[in-house]
Amino acid sequence: MGEFSFIQWIRKRQKRRKDVMLGIGDDCAVIDVSSDTVCLITTDMLVDGTHFDLKKCTVQDAGRKAIACSISDVAAMGCQPTVAVISVCFPDHTPEKFARELYKGIWGIADKYAIEIVGGDIISGRSPFCINVTMLGRDDGLKPIRRSGARAGDAILVTGTLGGSILGKHLSFEPRLKESLVLNKNFTIHAMIDVSDGLTADLNHILEESSVGAVLYEDRIPVSHAAVELSKKTGHKPLYHALSDGEDYELLMTLSRNQAKRLLSFGLLKNVKVSCIGEIVKEHGIRMKSSGGNIRHIKPRGYEHLKS
Amino acid sequence: MGEFSFIQWIRKRQKRRKDVMLGIGDDCAVIDVSSDTVCLITTDMLVDGTHFDLKKCTVQDAGRKAIACSISDVAAMGCQPTVAVISVCFPDHTPEKFARELYKGIWGIADKYAIEIVGGDIISGRSPFCINVTMLGRDDGLKPIRRSGARAGDAILVTGTLGGSILGKHLSFEPRLKESLVLNKNFTIHAMIDVSDGLTADLNHILEESSVGAVLYEDRIPVSHAAVELSKKTGHKPLYHALSDGEDYELLMTLSRNQAKRLLSFGLLKNVKVSCIGEIVKEHGIRMKSSGGNIRHIKPRGYEHLKS
């Protein structure tokens, strides 16, 4: 079983409500709550040993990451997060200090973005430490940006640099919320997602939802220093890590060439690098164009739970 | 550390937003989403070995229970659940059939109450099977019923019978949603909660939030057949189980004597037993009045996570 094929199985069988504008299959679901307001909702579960390792990081780091991932999901829709509920499973006999440290990590980032923790559930079990965050967001008159709006001819842009997040960024990343709101207010973004599974995997989510394909420009992929560092240990090329590693939590988007030109010269995002890494095409799949002009097919590769 | 004292610690330190009408400390939080609409939110985490035992029940039962618990939380506010997001952590190498059976259990009850699963997260780890449900609800013009509205002089009423849920009801219970909506539409309920931790523990939540106390009538507590059966094994009295066992998911409420009289003779709840089990008083704490007229103090007792 693969995570994504199982989600497709669920999605096909799920009965729909009229007030649900967007259900399973995007960074957030979108619910129509009144004539002029929508409510966004996203949920993320993180477990010790998979999403972080408490032997190598603090529980504050883990709490911060759980909140930051959910903020990034709301940012991926171009909307504003508001409140969250948090469930925690503590291993039996967890000391109180550990639990309080967790909340310090949570509040450190939640307060910064004015997100109120409005409820939760605290349980214990014969289980590794596990945390689930559900976050709500609101549109504030903006249109939530879906994965499904990419069109042939669009430019593909990504913020920041990619790869090797396991060396630190997967814990310390700043969700691109401010940038996301600036983008949604000032540009017509056709499709957007945050890079959590990996660049090609997340691009593939956009392509599948939009029924289009993509050509990537090999020499334009913004390879991070961490990807270079990691490549020395793994033997893979830095580009491999930039294309395949997850948890950079950068914004990957598509928009018209004209909008893209305007964005690339736009002042408000000057503190964050934005790269044009490719274009949307009609032909399905992902192809890579080298600097020499050679084109080859590549398979989306990234982290997938449940994959045997 | 105890679960409830830790929640109080969190609650005191949590920064508040203006659009949050009710934060930590009730069955649901209540968010002001537009001029005439509120959104309710509740979250529950269940883990194998604590909330159910997959050696003794099916994964369908576990999925059903997770949804039913959240429905019960929205019902405890007298409101209508609408959508849910579900996170699941599968133990590594879980077969696909197990995951599909889970969703059959989830849909079996979600479809019945027209609740759409709008999203989720599926992960795997070196962990027992764990599921988290976050459910949203809406007020539909009704006022969400809080824990904090009990007043001295109120009658205390409870639906159904109590105790021994571990013998089966903790998995098979029907959340009292229909009854809850009838109650909220037709009566002025001052305070309400669902009996999840145990009758005295949940009553104590109402008392603490309302700054009042209670006198219970020993001979009016609706002791279940299961409590009688369980008492044969445990050596405790059936009444002990009715007072202390959790997970009956009945509705516990307080309302004026006049409203209570009307409710007890009310036709719409005729298929569900309703018992008047005591009264709210000014003096804090819980006291028990025997049929002979003796009064004794009792301590709230029920399930609490993290209690050492």
User: Structure tokens of B139?
Assistant: 């007020």
Question: Which residues from B are below 8 Å from A136, CB to CB?
Answer: 31, 39, 41
CA distance B236 to chain A (A): 26
C-alpha to C-alpha distance for A85 and A134, rounded to whole angstroms: 5
Q: How far is CA B63 from CA A275, B45, B57, B133, B216, in A?
A: 44, 11, 11, 10, 35
Q: How far is B245 from chain A (nearest CA, A)?
A: 17
Could you tell me the fold of the domain covering B17-138? Answer: 60s Ribosomal Protein L30; Chain: A; (3.30.1330)
Q: Looking at residue A35, what is its pLDDT?
A: 83
Q: How far is B125 from chain A (nearest CA, A)?
A: 6
Tell me the nearest-neighbour CA distance from A127 into chain B, angstroms. 6
**Could you tell me which residues are beta bridge partners of residue A32?**
A38
pLDDT of residue B1: 63
Nearest CB to A41 within list B95, B119, B128: B119
Query: In this predicted model, what pLDDT tens digit does every residue of A166-206 receive, in sequence order?
Result: 999 999 999 999 999 999 999 999 999 999 999 999 999 99
Please give the ipTM for the structure prediction.
0.95
Contact A123 B305 (CB under 8 A): yes
DSSP state of B167: G
Residue A189 φ then ψ, to 5°: -85, 125
> Hey, is the C-beta of B262 within 8 angstroms of any chain A C-beta?
no
CA distance A80 to chain B (A): 13
Mean pLDDT of B44-56: 96
Which residue intervals of chain A are DSSP H helices?
3-13, 59-75, 96-110, 169-172, 177-186, 199-210, 225-234, 238-244, 257-264
Closest CA to A133 of A88, A96, A169, A171: A88
Residue A280's pLDDT is 98
List A residues 61-90 in contact with B (Cβ-Cβ < 8 A): 82-83, 85-90
A232 touches chain B (CB under 8 A): no
Q: Are the Cβ atoms of B85 and A121 closer than 8 angstroms?
A: no
**DSSP string of B251-274, one letter each residue:** EEEEE-HHHHHHHHT-GGGTTS-E
pLDDT confidence of residue B308 = 47
Angstrom distance (rounded) from CA B54 to CA B61: 9
Residue of A nearest to B120 (CA): A43
The pLDDT confidence band at residue A306, using thresholds 50, 70 and 90, is: low
What count of other Cβ atoms lies within 10 Å of the Cβ of residue A215? Answer: 17
The SS3 call for residue B64 is: helix
Interchain contact, B45 vs A121, CB within 8 Å:
yes
Contact A85 B138 (CB under 8 A): no
Structure tokens given for B272: 């569900």
pLDDT at B274 over 80: yes
Residue B303 has pLDDT above 90, yes or no: no
A1 pLDDT tier (thresholds 50, 70, 90): low
pLDDT in tens, A205-262: 999 999 999 999 999 999 999 999 999 999 999 999 999 999 999 999 999 999 999 9
What integer is the mean pLDDT of A148-155?
98
Predicted local distance difference test score (pLDDT) of residue A267: 72
Which pLDDT belongs to residue B211? 98
Contact between residue A5 and residue B120 where contact means Cβ atoms under 8 Å apart: no
Euclidean distance between CA atoms A298 and A295, whole angstroms = 10
For domain A16-138, which architecture applies?
A: 2-Layer Sandwich (3.30)
Closest residue of B to A30, CA-based?
B118
What whole-number distance in Å separates Cα of residue A162 and Cα of residue B276?
A: 64
SS3 content of chain B, % helix, strand, coil (to 5): 35, 30, 35
CA distance B158 to B163: 13
Instruction: Count CA atoms closer than 13 A to A3's CA, side-chain side.
Output: 20
CB contact under 8 A, A132 and B132: yes
Residues in chain A: 308
Give the integer Cα–Cα distance in Å for A192 and A194. Answer: 7
User: From the list A51, A87, A103, which residue is nearest B45 (CB)?
Assistant: A87
CB B85 within 8 A of CB B119: yes
B91 touches chain A (CB under 8 A): no
For residue A295, give how far its alpha carbon lies from the nearest alpha carbon of chain B (Å).
35
CB of B135 less than 8 A from some CB of A: no
DSSP secondary structure string for all residues of B74-105: HHTTT-EEEEEEEEEEEETT--HHHHHHHHHH
The answer to whether A53 contacts chain B (CB < 8 Å) is no
Which sequence spans correspond to the domains of chain B?
Answer: 17-138, 155-298
Residues of B in contact with A123 (CB under 8 A): 45-47, 50-51, 305
Q: In chain A, how long is the greatest CA-to-CA distance? A: 60
Q: With contacts defined as CB-CB under 8 Å, which chain A residues touch B96?
A: 1, 6
**B20 shares contact with chain A (CB less than 8 Å):** yes
Closest CA to B127 of A128, A105, A170: A128
- How far is the CA of A8 from the CAs of A14, A26, A29, A200, B111, in angstroms? 10, 12, 15, 19, 19
Whether A264 contacts chain B with CB within 8 A? no
B4 pLDDT above the threshold of 90: no
Structure tokens at A19: 């007030």
Residues B202 and B196: beta-carbon distance below 8 Å = yes
Tens-digit pLDDT profile for residues B190-242: 999 999 999 999 999 999 999 999 999 999 999 999 999 999 999 999 999 99
Q: Which residues of A283-299 are buried (b: 16+ CB within 10 A; e: fewer)?
A: eeebebbeeeeeeeeee
What dotted CATH number matches B155-298?
3.90.650.10
Q: Residue written as tokens 């593939």? A: A204
Dmax (CA) for chain B in angstroms is 60
- Cβ-contact A67, A28 below 8 angstroms: no
Which residues in chain A touch residue B130, judged by CB atoms under 8 angstroms apart? Answer: 45, 47, 89, 125, 127, 130
* CB neighbour list of residue A118: distance below 8 Å, 6 or more residues apart: A83, A84, A85, B20, B22, B23, B24, B29, B31, B41
| Residue numbers in A near B132 (CB within 8 A) | 43, 45, 87, 121, 132, 134
Averaged pLDDT score across all residues of chain A: 95
Full DSSP string of A58-93: -HHHHHHHHHHHHHHHHHTTT-EEEEEEEEEEEETT
State both tokens at A187.
């540009």
Quote the minimal CA–CA distance from B219 to chain A in Å. 34
Within an 8 Å CB–CB cutoff, is residue B138 touching chain A? yes
Distance of alpha carbon A79 from alpha carbon B211, whole angstroms: 40
Mean pLDDT of chain B: 95
Residue numbers in B near A102 (CB within 8 A):
none
A87 burial (CB, 10 Å; 0-12 / 13-18 / 19+) is buried
B92 touches chain A (CB under 8 A): no
Our CA-based measurement puts residue A100 at a distance from the nearest CA of chain B, in whole angstroms, of: 8
Q: Which residues of A touch B51 (CB under 8 A)?
A: 123
Q: Which residues of A fall within a CB distance of 8 Å from B28?
A: 119
At residue A308, does pLDDT exceed 50? no
User: Which pLDDT belongs to residue B266?
Assistant: 81
What integer pLDDT is reported at residue B167 of this predicted model? 97
* pLDDT number for residue B43: 98
| Residues A261-300: tens digit of each pLDDT | 999 988 767 789 999 999 999 999 999 999 899 999 998 8
B9/A122 Cβ within 8 A: no
Are B287 and B213 spatial neighbours (Cβ–Cβ below 8 Å)? yes
Q: Is A295 on the interface with B (CB under 8 A)?
A: no
Calpha distance A18→A32 (Å, rounded): 9
- Beginning with the edge strand found earlier in the chain, give each strand of the sheet holding B155-159 in spatial order: B191-194, B251-255, B155-159, B274-281, B213-217, B285-289, B295-298
Percent of chain B with pLDDT over 90: 89
Q: Please indicate, yes or no, whether the overall pTM of this predicted structure exceeds 0.80.
A: yes
3-state secondary structure of A94: coil
